[in-house]
A and B are shown apart, each in its own frame.
Chain A
Amino acid sequence: MTYLTKPKFHHPSLPTNKLGFTRRDYEASTSTLCAGCGHDSISAAIIEACFELSIEPHRVAKISGIGCSSKTPDYFLGQSHGFNSVHGRMPSVLTGANLANRDLIYLGVSGDGDSASIGFGQFGHAMRRGVNMTYIVENNGVYGLTKGQFSATADRGSKSKKGVLNSDSSIDLVAIALQLGATFVARSFSGDKAQLVPLIKAAIQHRGASFIDVISPCIAFNNHAGSTKSFDYVREHNEAVNALDIMLGRAAITVDYEPGKVVTVQQHDGSQLRLRKLNNDYDPTDRLAAQNFLIRHAAKGEVVTGLLFIEPDADDLHASFNTTETPLNELNAKELCPGHAALEKLNASLR
């Protein structure tokens, strides 16, 4: 990491998005993570995705738990409010924030310690509830900030940096998300920006609980031989099932696809997701098939990546609750207080 702040000026030809912002407008503080950390690549991908979607930065609320991954919201979207909460409890804070204002974009950033151990319960229930959010787990198989203990996503038989063998079964958060009803489930790799950026974009656009498990190697504690979350291992075992193109609005098709090789998904806001099949057997709209595929390939030690499941017409928690279009945090005494007359009526009924 560096302590030198990146200078504000940029090349005049730096591309701008629909809002007239450059990529730089989506950055924030300098990262204090280790040089080469996978998480910094994910932050860069988030910046790229928000830039490409022309999102207004201040309309994003970024919420995280505790851990190296949870520090990252400080490093992107400097104009957004951030909330670095307590270990494993980001989903509840995000849910509450979302209920207060349905109009913002909610980005939940967590790690495997945060979401697969102490926060396993909150992770699961957030998937069940269908809170409209983009939930990213930056998964490196260890507790980086406390210096290298195994996390619950570490594979059985993998070795720690000090040579200790993990004897516990690992938790596959993608499988759990599928099991519990998440309506957008993906896995990617911090080293594959071309795959990750479109997934983040699609997740943000999806109305419902979007979950992305991003393998993000920890160069300090889990990038050695014997790790199943190292750069080398993931590159060698990456089984991408599809590649995602996003057509915003009703853009004309500019790419030629081989017939039978594309799955098109219409999103509720009118945009389209084009999934180029890299594996002919994979259907991302079949939840059961997705779960089977994952189990079979996990047994072979493969890391299945891509958009693994999508239910485009999902409802979110606000739809379930039928809350007002006006965000709850904009309602005042006028709209919320039943008033003196109603109270007198109530008093009368209690005598």
Chain B
Amino acid sequence: MPIEAVNDFVIRFANVNGSGSASANEMFARAIMRMGVTVAPRNVFPSNIQGLPTWYEIRVTSKGYLGARGGTDFMVAMNPQTFNADVASIEPDGYLLYDNTRALPPGKMRTDINVIGVPLTEICNKEYTDPRQRQLFKNIICLGVLTELFGMDFAEVEKLIGEQYRGKDKLIPPNVHALHMGKDWARANLKPIGLRIKRSNDIGDKILLEGNAAAALGAVYGGATVCGWYPITPSSSLAEAFASYCKKFRHDPETGQAKYAIVQAEDELASIGMVIGAAWNGARSFTATSGPGISLMQEFLGMAYFAEIPAVVFDVQRAGPSTGMPTRTQQCDIMACAYASHGDTKHVLLIPEDPAETFDFAADAFDVADRLQTPVFVMIDLDIGMNHRLCRPLSWDDKRQYDRGKVLSAEELEKAQDFGRYMDVDGDGIGYRTYPGTHADKGAFFTRGTSHDSRARYSEQGVHYVEGMQRLLRKLDTAKEVIPKPLRQNAAKGTRYGVIYYGSTSPAMAEASETLAADGHHLNMLRVRAFPFHQDVASFIADHDFVFVVEQNRDAQMRSLIVNELGIDPVRLVPILHYDGTPITARFIAGAIGDRLDKLKVTPMRKVASS
């Protein structure tokens, strides 16, 4: 019995990368969105430029689920290299669409799926002679076929083509024509299938935004003026998006001059060096990188920690260790960032769950860095950074001022009775600083990575060193009130079990909790959004017998951090780990937690007789 579903299935496209499939697939996702139906699109692309397999997965859902589900109901298999594996991945009773210009030999196909053959190459070659045209329009023809198969609103797809090629109007008619060819062929040759997309009203005012673009926009809104960066997958698009937004928003309307400076540095060390130099001199600055870059930046990060200089680092986390899997998602830099650099260090992490929160945290990161005078990491899982995600619209309060932290102006220096760069005047562990060039004979000091007294003078005396290190811990306590608090959501029924999770796990966790509740497993949930940990994390754990910690790395890094920082007995934190580079799914979380909870259920000594 073929799978039947309205607005609830997973469609996966298997393509060869560099073939123009990405834009066609994205258009398909947007067309569904324009019909008011929730889509969760995900790119699975190889670490390559052209010629290797790439997949685009669209989860269509009527329940608003934005996490990956797992499994494929409808496979569009356009890559001969991965054809067999792609076919094998289809759910039983699912659908396969393939190019049957070269029909499969009989007897070579699964019998438990529904095969739809479309002679795309034949249709294409009849119509076009240019090879690149043939390649590009094949995707659009396929799009037309799908639009017809799923009963979609054709006008929406046509509208999207118009938007895609706005400014290049010559390209619109041929694309629309290709679309029609596909639709017409499907109408003439194919029967309707069990999967349908029906117009709905589930989207509201949500937007479809890519995580890296959101971060870049947050940096613009947050007042960043200097960016030093080095290209690395998957963070390059963040810096490039920043450049693009700056070109749009940050040129003086009269002179055309740039109110920003972006340097593509020679490596990550130079990148973070520039960021620190700029911040030292009073400009908000940031870099964007991934795991390998974090490793390279360790020395400078320790310096910024000890000398107390702001810096914002976007870490778009990819699978490690070492070069790892550059295009696969993971949450494996938590330890490396929280404890970056040799010696006793601890850094602030902000951990957003989706592009909207990434925008917020990106802008906030600059306030936090300036206020705390320390590096701040924004941990953006690749799943968020490199995918388009439906999220709430972005917002900005025009009354908002930047918090530049404790900086003394020339006037304030005149009035001050005394100035010492590292004096804890207010008891919050944070001293006052001055920008270079502020005052002719007051306020100058030496910034150094060596130990210093409260006046920034070089000192090897133990008492000065310990005093400074203790003050840095007090600063961390202050941080806990300034950074985003964890968010708690209690289950409908009382329960002694809880779950802690963070970042891109969020949509899958939300869905999993519903699945678990339906099975009678109730969990209170706590989403950690920053480090160091707010008191609420310890309180949450204290409220429960066992707390599951769901994360996407092998060594349960967040769990380790909790044990280490809060002194929790490890036995009370049960790790739920998914780290194969694919996004975590609700199926996995519900299955893993469900299994553990089932084991914990007490079996009655005597069964009550049932009638």
Contact = CB atoms under 8 A, between A and B. Distances in A.
Interface of A: 56-59, 61, 63, 73-74, 78-86, 89, 91-101, 103-104, 121-122, 124-125, 129, 317-318, 321-325, 328-329, 331-333, 335-340, 342-344, 346-347, 350-351
Nearest to B204: A351
Given A121-B266, A346-B217, A351-B206, A100 B223 contact: no
Contact of A101 (B282, B395, B444): B282
A84 B449 contact: yes
B266 A63 contact: no
Given A97-B277, A125-B265, 20 more contacts: A81-B434, A81-B437, A83-B446, A92-B270, A92-B271, A93-B277, A95-B263, A95-B273, A100-B285, A103-B437, A104-B436, A121-B266, A121-B270, A322-B258, A329-B225, A335-B259, A343-B395, A344-B393, A351-B203, A351-B205
A176 B252 CA distance: 37
Contacts of B285: 96, 100
Given A324-B255, A324-B259, A92 B273 contact: yes
Of B272, B282, B445, the most chain A CB neighbours within 10 A belong to B282
B91 interface: no
Contacts of B156: none
24 contacts: A74-B458, A80-B436, A81-B444, A83-B448, A84-B447, A85-B449, A89-B273, A91-B273, A92-B228, A93-B276, A95-B270, A95-B273, A97-B436, A98-B277, A101-B437, A104-B281, A104-B436, A125-B266, A323-B261, A328-B260, A328-B261, A331-B225, A346-B217, A350-B208
A132 to B, nearest CB: 13
Nearest to B209: A350
Contacts of A318: 261
B208 A328 contact: no
B48 to A, nearest CB: 28
A81 B397 contact: no
B240 interface: no
B440 interface: yes
In the A-B complex, the 5 residue pairs with the closest CB atoms: A92-B273, A96-B277, A100-B283, A329-B282, A96-B274
B489 interface: no
A99 B223 contact: no
Interface of A, secondary structure class, is helix
A121 B275 CA distance: 17
A351 B266 CA distance: 38
A92 B277 contact: yes
B444 A96 contact: no
B398 interface: yes
B226 interface: yes
Contacts of B449: 84-86
Interface in B270-300: 270-283, 285, 299-300
Given A58-B441, A101-B283, A333-B223, A323 B393 contact: no
Centre residue among A63, A78, A92, A95 by max chain B CB count within 10 A: A92
A318 B278 CA distance: 14
Nearest to A92: B273
Given A129-B263, A336-B259, A104 B277 contact: no
B611 interface: no
A61 B281 CA distance: 9
Interface in B505-533: none
Contacts, number: 220
B342 to A, nearest CB: 12
A80 B69 CA distance: 59
B108 interface: no
A85 B276 CA distance: 10
Nearest to B272: A92
Contacts of B497: none
B154 interface: no
Nearest to A56: B440
A79 B273 contact: no
Contacts of A321: 258, 261
A86 B220 CA distance: 29
A61 B266 contact: no
A100 B258 contact: no
B225 A83 contact: no
A318 B274 CA distance: 14
B387 to A, nearest CB: 14
B77 to A, nearest CB: 31
Given A80-B436, A97-B281, A104-B437, A333 B402 contact: yes
B198 interface: no
B249 interface: yes
B228 A339 contact: no
Given A101-B282, A323-B261, A351-B208, A92 B269 contact: yes
A303 B330 CA distance: 55
A84 B446 contact: yes
Contacts of A329: 225, 281-283, 435
B250 interface: yes
B437 to A, nearest CB: 5
B274 A121 contact: no
Given A86-B303, A347-B394, A93 B221 contact: no
